[in-house]
A and B are shown apart, each in its own frame.
Chain A
């Protein structure tokens, strides 16, 4: 039960910087996900907390102790690994009690604790089994029991569900949340799956290229992404981006124009900006009544539809001569999510509107967010300032 703090942690290998000046302040009892694409430095960040990697610069604090140079065993952390990492030469009980035995607990105490930990993860009656006699889910439970049996200050979980099949993964997610509620221990959880991060955590730390991009509650990251990377990474399918310029009357691009008063939105004519809008904030024109602040109509043609059951993804081409290219989704394309009963067909001419309250503006050069919602700019001051405060210090 402890707060975890990283101060200016940097990890450099010979030619790469894996973690670049990372500052994190994770509160006691909080469930924080470190999320980012593979190779972004999230695992290295976790390893510096565990002590498996020593940072080149900076300090790591757990509770009120500075642990930067402390070996892993003395940090009061427990870890669950992606490949589960049960010791194949030990049975379940010996795996769970490994850390206790190393710390010379007496055997009654060990039995008592193993019993309780295996109760919590529902492993009753399996203590004598060997890891290779168990299913993937059972092994993962053993790994979790091994972590909780020591009453650690902090749980570190490095993609613990990545090797499980999809169904089990969803089940284990809820199990972990239940566990967190029960134990109230700080959990730091690494994943590349933004959906996992969204559903489980109190706060999400989005990391890219070794740098912290944003740390905020999931919905803040979703609704008020700090920059283009976070906007594109959080949410599935990804946000639509269109690059263009600010004019006297708003935003203009090769695909469409959006009207607003630049002065009120913190931009000035001539600025290069990127406009972002999520697929669910794009509407066919016949539903514009349900949109609070619809934009002007945008002419488009439907290209491909992907019915998902609960919604339909519609790929729109907003420029006549453009080739469909999924790699560069921002150039003349727009992804729209509509309800399954919508009447959309491929190769149709269609008019759509954007919900102006949900449009994001980003500085094209720096990628930083300028404005979330083109309706009521005062809202930015109340929520976004707080979000930025969380990510910048």
Chain B
């Protein structure tokens, strides 16, 4: 092989190449410097689209008239938001906090509507998701297709989800409205302009679409349960229900907890399905209130956006704490 050696030496020593200087520099970086170099694009884009806007939102929320005649007013916008002083900027007759404790007033409050929406949808999605997960955890013929059927709503674009439920509950055509109106659950006419009926429909739409996501998370938890535990239980004479109560449920509970937190922060973003099916004036979610003031009353949009961020940050810190305890 000695004839090859001269050429080999040149190729092996990696000489030449215009880029070799940069490559060499990158290649010789220590592990830490190399890691941070490769993470630069992530932090550039997250910095520009997430961190910077978040800080800037906080800043804007502390000004009166931030663009044309900026005056720093500290937390006055926040005070005004909570004592109703900003309600005039919100669309229609909506408010931030409820003006009284009547149901009508509560359904006008964007904070309350968001919280109700979140609590109700997450509760039902958890129960239905657990049911779906238990079905998918079984072995049966056609499981693949049942799984597709259950996941597909998750993959439906929000605008189409909204359209589907508009078409089901539009009082002129929807089959569901007369039926539910007879039961007294929703209004029979002008349904999609009625605050309670619209909130109800929007919640149904969200539960339909998002239960599958819950089901997948819970299914992952179910499938990590050691199957031999069930054999132990069977030998001990436990019925199916006892097996569920004593083994399945306690072992899948931590997963359900994580999934609930995860869904809670996602549910508080609700906007698209409201915008498509009904209107922001009818079902005033927090995101709705931000969009309504976008580019018009920047400081109002900013203060609501930041309050939303704070509420979510509280939930997020619980999640982070959980993750941290499990040793990320």
Direct contact of A and B (CB under 8 A): yes
Residues of A bordering B, CB below 8 Å? 1, 54, 65, 69, 71, 73-76, 103-105, 113, 116, 150-153, 183
- A104, B10: Cα distance in complex, Å: 12
List, in ascending order, chain A residues with CB within 8 A of B13's CB. Answer: 65, 74, 76
- A309, B14: Cα distance in complex, Å: 55
Chain B: residues with Cβ within 8 Å of the partner, total of 13
**Candidate in A73, A105, A151, A183 with the most chain B CB atoms within 10 angstroms:** A151
The answer to whether A150 touches B27 (Cβ under 8 A) is no
Closest to B9 in A: A76
The answer to whether A69 touches B28 (Cβ under 8 A) is yes
Known A151-B1, A151-B4; contact A105-B28, beta-carbon cutoff 8 A: no
The answer to whether A54 touches B30 (Cβ under 8 A) is yes
The answer, yes or no, to whether B12 is at the interface (CB within 8 Å) is: yes
- A103, B9: Cα distance in complex, Å: 11
B32 to chain A, nearest CB (A): 11
The answer to whether B12 touches A74 (Cβ under 8 A) is yes
The answer to whether B12 touches A153 (Cβ under 8 A) is yes
- A204, B14: Cα distance in complex, Å: 32
A165 to chain B, nearest CB (A): 31
List, in ascending order, chain A residues with CB within 8 A of B24's CB. Answer: 71
- A73, B13: Cα distance in complex, Å: 8
Give the dominant DSSP class at B's interface: helix
Could you give 26 example pairs across A and B, Cβ below 8 Å?
A1-B5, A54-B28, A54-B30, A65-B13, A69-B28, A71-B14, A71-B27, A73-B14, A74-B12, A74-B13, A74-B14, A75-B12, A76-B9, A76-B12, A76-B13, A103-B12, A113-B4, A116-B1, A150-B8, A150-B12, A151-B1, A151-B4, A151-B5, A151-B8, A153-B12, A183-B1
- A151, B1: Cα distance in complex, Å: 8
The answer to whether B27 touches A152 (Cβ under 8 A) is no
The answer, yes or no, to whether B11 is at the interface (CB within 8 Å) is: yes
**Candidate in A1, A76, A113 with the most chain B CB atoms within 10 angstroms:** A76
List, in ascending order, chain A residues with CB within 8 A of B14's CB. Answer: 71, 73-74
B111 to chain A, nearest CB (A): 48
Known A151-B1, A151-B5; contact A103-B11, beta-carbon cutoff 8 A: yes
- A329, B4: Cα distance in complex, Å: 55
- A113, B8: Cα distance in complex, Å: 12
Closest to A100 in B: B11
A121 to chain B, nearest CB (A): 14
- A153, B12: Cα distance in complex, Å: 9
List, in ascending order, chain B residues with CB within 8 A of A153's CB. Answer: 12
Residues 1-45 of B at the A interface (beta carbon under 8 Å): 1, 4-5, 8-9, 11-14, 24, 27-28, 30
List, in ascending order, chain A residues with CB within 8 A of B27's CB. Answer: 71
List, in ascending order, chain A residues with CB within 8 A of B12's CB. Answer: 74-76, 103, 150, 152-153
- A76, B13: Cα distance in complex, Å: 6
B16 to chain A, nearest CB (A): 11
Closest to A152 in B: B12
* A-B contact sample (10 more), CB < 8 A, given A65-B13, A151-B4: A54-B30, A74-B13, A76-B8, A76-B12, A103-B12, A105-B11, A116-B1, A151-B1, A151-B5, A153-B12
Closest to A183 in B: B1
List, in ascending order, chain A residues with CB within 8 A of B4's CB. Answer: 113, 151
List, in ascending order, chain B residues with CB within 8 A of A105's CB. Answer: 11
List, in ascending order, chain A residues with CB within 8 A of B28's CB. Answer: 54, 69, 71
Chain B 202-240 interface mask (CB, 8 Å, partner A; 1/0): 000000000000000000000000000000000000000
B146 to chain A, nearest CB (A): 33
B318 to chain A, nearest CB (A): 32
Closest to B11 in A: A103
- A329, B313: Cα distance in complex, Å: 62
Q: Which 8 A-B pairs have the closest CB atoms?
A: A74-B14, A76-B12, A71-B27, A103-B11, A151-B8, A69-B28, A151-B4, A151-B1
- A153, B11: Cα distance in complex, Å: 12
**Candidate in A103, A113, A116 with the most chain B CB atoms within 10 angstroms:** A103
List, in ascending order, chain A residues with CB within 8 A of B11's CB. Answer: 103-105
- A113, B1: Cα distance in complex, Å: 9
A94 to chain B, nearest CB (A): 18
**Candidate in B9, B11, B14, B28 with the most chain A CB atoms within 10 angstroms:** B11
- A113, B7: Cα distance in complex, Å: 13
Closest to A1 in B: B5
List, in ascending order, chain B residues with CB within 8 A of A183's CB. Answer: 1
List, in ascending order, chain A residues with CB within 8 A of B1's CB. Answer: 116, 151, 183
- A105, B8: Cα distance in complex, Å: 10
A73 to chain B, nearest CB (A): 6
A195 to chain B, nearest CB (A): 31
Closest to A112 in B: B4
- A323, B312: Cα distance in complex, Å: 67
List, in ascending order, chain B residues with CB within 8 A of A150's CB. Answer: 8, 12
Residues 107-123 of B at the A interface (beta carbon under 8 Å): none
List, in ascending order, chain B residues with CB within 8 A of A71's CB. Answer: 14, 24, 27-28
Closest to A76 in B: B12
- A1, B12: Cα distance in complex, Å: 13
Closest to B28 in A: A69
- A71, B21: Cα distance in complex, Å: 12
Chain B 233-261 interface mask (CB, 8 Å, partner A; 1/0): 00000000000000000000000000000
Closest to A104 in B: B11
- A75, B28: Cα distance in complex, Å: 13
List, in ascending order, chain B residues with CB within 8 A of A75's CB. Answer: 12
A66 to chain B, nearest CB (A): 12
B103 to chain A, nearest CB (A): 61
List, in ascending order, chain B residues with CB within 8 A of A73's CB. Answer: 14
- A45, B5: Cα distance in complex, Å: 27
A242 to chain B, nearest CB (A): 47
A174 to chain B, nearest CB (A): 22
B73 to chain A, nearest CB (A): 49
- A41, B132: Cα distance in complex, Å: 53
- A183, B14: Cα distance in complex, Å: 23
